[in-house]
């Protein structure tokens, strides 16, 4: 059931030009950033060699690239999640799902799974660029893996939030804008609380957990944070579908 | 016999608005039940509640003996629902869409292929499998909507205004299909086209302002016990009144007459009589339908003519 829903969702995504354009634009911007970082690295490389413990290509190319990609992801995810449920409400196609022998959780999970596979695919495409450095040099694959895991967790988390916000409205545009708002807020919430940030704001922020993963530090608490936010969002989306039946 | 669908004391409010109040009815196997009412009477609300898309404020819905609210999954597996606007995805082809609908109802593999082929055949979609739904005409979209509702061979089929917005030929086809569906299932049909109900349904429920105001078996009743005649050479009205089975004669403008018949009178006997007497029978038709009179009387508070 979940897979059937995910499959239709993916089909709908790939039938629309939106995904192709997004993938293209994302790849182009990613490539540009990658090349800019790489060029900078090559310029300072000779001077770095004189240092005793020089930062490597991973520090100077990959980490900034992944950091920038996370910013791009915040721009991309709301566009992908906005139609998931709101379009079904608007077109009345939700009636097909509601009159079928399905649990609300299955509907939400199916949608989430489709988005997650699409986002993983985008991640994979972007990961090919830093991996191409392996042809001519050495990179810290462990750190790259941790960074990519972070990116994937971040994207999955954003998708969960996007699906929940999409379940609140019939207008995809409203869903997109509120998702932008929510994601950007969670991204910058750690700026509050003065220098160093309060521990609560720091914990709430999407970005502080991501940064640790970029540094190659894989804490179960960071992974738990992303999974928790995703789980709560999806549960809320399921509850929302239930309560829509009561409100009419 | 256990009814296929049992609605008990169903209530639904939207804020202060009472959309449904104390609705009670049953739908049996091999029955087409018509749900009638002016717009806003609660027809679609009733159907959405039965489909599970809307929760009732109070009351119970049983599908094939299974409580919809307590065991929604098992109950919905026995149900097919066509909403007022068919829930179609324009970016899928007919086959893809029907496969999706069948999978959602738990069909897999060979059973799915068979179900799809059967649904397509029943709904006249045999040659449209690879067409994109976005490019279909409204009539075809409606057919796909019905195919979706019957693909898993449900015991109860709910159709919300299935002939709305179709051209006369398409309406005929859909009606034929509904009649065939009603042979082995329970079909609940909502419409505001009264002749359609008389043609298709064995029983009609009239809803008005959220209440069930009338329940009427239709196949038992004759299409009407008044007969309009147009005669080329009309005789004296008293002579017509003398025909066996005629209780009263209303004389119109000379050639037009309306006969009131006693129950059980065969109109063909009247025709034979007119022909035998050489009155030159030009036209003969039943007058007004009972349902229409009933409907306007109930929903507008008008008295029957």
**3-state class of A23 per DSSP?**
helix
Does residue A195 register a pLDDT over 70?
no
Q: Where are the domains of chain B?
A: 5-217, 226-287
Does residue A133 register a pLDDT over 50?
yes
From residue B248, give the alpha-carbon distance in Å to each of B61, B157, B235, B260, B288: 47, 44, 15, 5, 16
More confident residue, A25 or B225: A25
Q: How far is A126 from chain B (nearest CA, A)?
A: 28
The burial class, CB within 10 Å (0-12 / 13-18 / 19+), for A8 is buried
pLDDT of residue B303: 41
pLDDT of residue A1: 85
- Match 């007919």 to its residue by tokens: B94
> Hey, what long-range contacts does A211-218 have (CB within 8 A, 24 or more apart)?
A211/A67, A212/A150, A213/A146, A213/A147, A213/A149, A213/A150, A213/A153, A214/A63, A214/A66, A214/A67, A214/A146, A214/A147, A214/A150, A215/A63, A215/A143, A216/A140, A216/A142, A216/A143, A216/A146, A216/A147, A217/A146, A218/A146, A218/A149
Instruction: Give the DSSP H/E element, type plus range, for residue A24.
Output: helix A17-48
- Hey, which residues does A237 pair with through a beta bridge? none
Predicted TM-score (pTM) of this structure: 0.84
pLDDT of residue B302: 46
The values of phi and psi at residue A16, to 5°, are -90, 145
Residues with Cβ < 8 Å from B17, sequence gap 6 or more? none
A94 CB neighbours in chain B (<8 A) are 53, 87
Q: Contact B85/A92, CB-based, under 8 Å?
A: yes
Residue A73 — very low, low, confident or very high, per pLDDT cuts 50/70/90?
confident
Q: Which of the residues in chain B have pLDDT under 50?
A: 221, 302-305
The burial class, CB within 10 Å (0-12 / 13-18 / 19+), for B195 is exposed
In this chain, the answer to whether the domains covering B5-217 and B226-287 adopt an identical fold is no
A97 CB neighbours in chain B (<8 A) are 104
Distance CA B164, CA B161 (A): 5
Query: Mean pLDDT score of chain A, rounded to an integer?
Result: 89
B100 CB neighbours in chain A (<8 A) are 4, 8
Residue A112 — very low, low, confident or very high, per pLDDT cuts 50/70/90?
very high
Residues with Cβ < 8 Å from B99, sequence gap 6 or more? B112, B116
pLDDT of residue B164: 77
The values of phi and psi at residue B211, to 5°, are -120, 150
Least CB-CB distance to A101: which of B53, B84, B106?
B106
Chain A's closest residue to B84, CA to CA, is A92
Which residue in B79, B89, B115 has the most chain A C-beta atoms within 10 A of its own C-beta, making it the best mutation to test that interface?
B89
pLDDT of residue B280: 85
Distance CA A24, CA A210 (A): 24
Return the CATH architecture of domain B5-217: 3-Layer(aba) Sandwich (3.40)
A99 CB neighbours in chain B (<8 A) are 51-53, 76, 79-81
Residue A194 — very low, low, confident or very high, per pLDDT cuts 50/70/90?
low
Q: Contact A246/B55, CB-based, under 8 Å?
A: yes
Chain A's closest residue to B97, CA to CA, is A8
Residue A196 — very low, low, confident or very high, per pLDDT cuts 50/70/90?
low
For B46, half-sphere exposure in the C-beta direction (CA atoms, 13 angstrom radius) is: 38
Q: Where are the domains of chain A?
A: 2-247
More confident residue, B37 or A229: A229
Q: Any alpha helices (H) in chain B, and if so which ranges?
A: 43-51, 72-76, 94-104, 109-122, 138-150, 168-184, 194-200, 237-241, 267-277, 290-300
Q: How far is B69 from chain A (nearest CA, A)?
A: 12
pLDDT of residue B201: 87
pLDDT of residue B289: 61
Say which DSSP state B223 is in: S
The values of phi and psi at residue B71, to 5°, are -125, 65
From residue B115, give the alpha-carbon distance in Å to each of B167, B177, B276: 28, 16, 57
Q: How far is B88 from chain A (nearest CA, A)?
A: 6
* Nearest of B176, B183, B177 to residue B155 by alpha carbon: B183
More confident residue, B297 or A121: A121
For residue range B11-36, list pLDDT tens digits in order.
999 888 888 988 999 999 889 999 98
Does residue A55 register a pLDDT over 80?
no
pLDDT of residue B267: 79
The top-level CATH class assigned to B226-287 is alpha beta
Are residues A244 and A175 in contact, defined by beta-carbon separation less than 8 angstroms?
no
Residues belonging to chain B with any Cβ–Cβ distance to chain A shorter than 8 Å: 12, 14, 45, 48, 51-55, 72-74, 76-77, 79-81, 83-85, 87-89, 91-92, 96, 100-101, 103-106, 148
Which residue in B20, B87, B153, B210 has the most chain A C-beta atoms within 10 A of its own C-beta, making it the best mutation to test that interface?
B87
ipTM: 0.86
Chain A's closest residue to B80, CA to CA, is A99
């Amino acid at each position: 059931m979940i897979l059937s829903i995910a499959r239709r969702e993916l089909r709908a995504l790939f039938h629309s030009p939106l995904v192709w354009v997004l993938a293209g634009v994302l790849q182009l911007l990613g490539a540009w950033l990658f090349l800019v970082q790489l060029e900078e690295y090559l310029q300072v490389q000779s001077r770095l060699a004189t240092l005793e413990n020089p930062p490597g290509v991973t520090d100077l190319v990959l980490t900034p690239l992944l950091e920038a990609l996370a910013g791009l992801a915040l721009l991309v995810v709301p566009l992908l999640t906005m139609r998931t449920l709101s379009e079904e409400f608007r077109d009345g196609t939700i009636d097909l799902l509601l009159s079928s022998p399905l649990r609300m959780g299955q509907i939400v999970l199916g949608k989430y799974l489709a988005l997650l596979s699409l986002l993983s695919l985008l991640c994979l495409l972007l990961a090919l660029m830093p991996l191409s450095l392996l042809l001519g040099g050495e990179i810290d694959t462990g750190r790259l893996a941790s960074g990519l895991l972070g990116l994937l967790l971040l994207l999955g988390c954003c998708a969960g939030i996007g699906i929940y916000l999409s379940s609140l409205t019939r207008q995809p545009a409203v869903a997109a804008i509120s998702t932008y708002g929510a994601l950007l807020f969670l991204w910058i919430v750690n700026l509050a609380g003065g220098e160093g940030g309060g521990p609560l704001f720091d914990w709430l922020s999407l970005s502080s957990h991501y940064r640790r993963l970029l540094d190659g530090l894989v804490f179960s608490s960071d992974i738990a944070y992303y999974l928790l936010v995703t789980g709560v969002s999806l549960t809320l989306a399921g509850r929302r579908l239930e309560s829509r039946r009561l409100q009419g | 016999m256990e009814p296929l669908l049992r609605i008990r004391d169903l209530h639904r409010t939207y804020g202060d608005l009472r959309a449904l109040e104390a609705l009670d009815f049953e739908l049996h196997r091999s029955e087409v039940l018509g749900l009638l009412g002016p717009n806003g009477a609660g027809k679609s609300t009733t159907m959405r509640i039965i489909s599970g898309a809307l929760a009732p404020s109070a009351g119970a819905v049983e599908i094939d003996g299974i409580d919809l609210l307590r065991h929604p999954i098992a109950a919905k597996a026995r149900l097919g629902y066509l909403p007022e606007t068919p829930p179609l995805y324009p970016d899928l082809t007919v086959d893809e869409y029907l496969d999706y609908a069948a999978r959602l109802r738990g069909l897999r593999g060979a059973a799915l292929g068979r179900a799809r082929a059967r649904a397509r055949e029943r709904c006249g979609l045999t040659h449209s499998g690879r067409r994109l739904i976005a490019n279909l005409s409204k009539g075809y979209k409606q057919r796909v909507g019905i195919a979706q509702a019957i693909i898993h061979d449900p015991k109860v089929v709910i159709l919300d205004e299935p002939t709305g917005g179709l051209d006369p030929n398409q309406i005929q086809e859909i009606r034929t299909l509904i009649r065939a569906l009603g042979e082995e299932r329970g079909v609940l049909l909502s419409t505001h086209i009264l002749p359609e109900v008389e043609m298709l349904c064995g029983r009609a429920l009239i809803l008005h302002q959220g209440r069930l105001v009338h329940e009427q078996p239709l196949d038992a009743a004759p299409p009407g016990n008044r007969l309009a005649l147009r005669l080329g050479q009309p005789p004296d009205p008293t002579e017509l009144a003398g025909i066996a089975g005629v209780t009263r004669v209303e004389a119109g403008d000379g050639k037009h007459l309306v006969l009131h018949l006693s129950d059980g009178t065969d109109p063909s006997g009247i025709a034979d009589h007119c022909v035998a007497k050489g009155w030159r029978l030009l036209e003969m038709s039943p007058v007004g339908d009972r349902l229409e009179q009933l409907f306007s009387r109930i929903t507008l508070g008008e008295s029957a003519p």
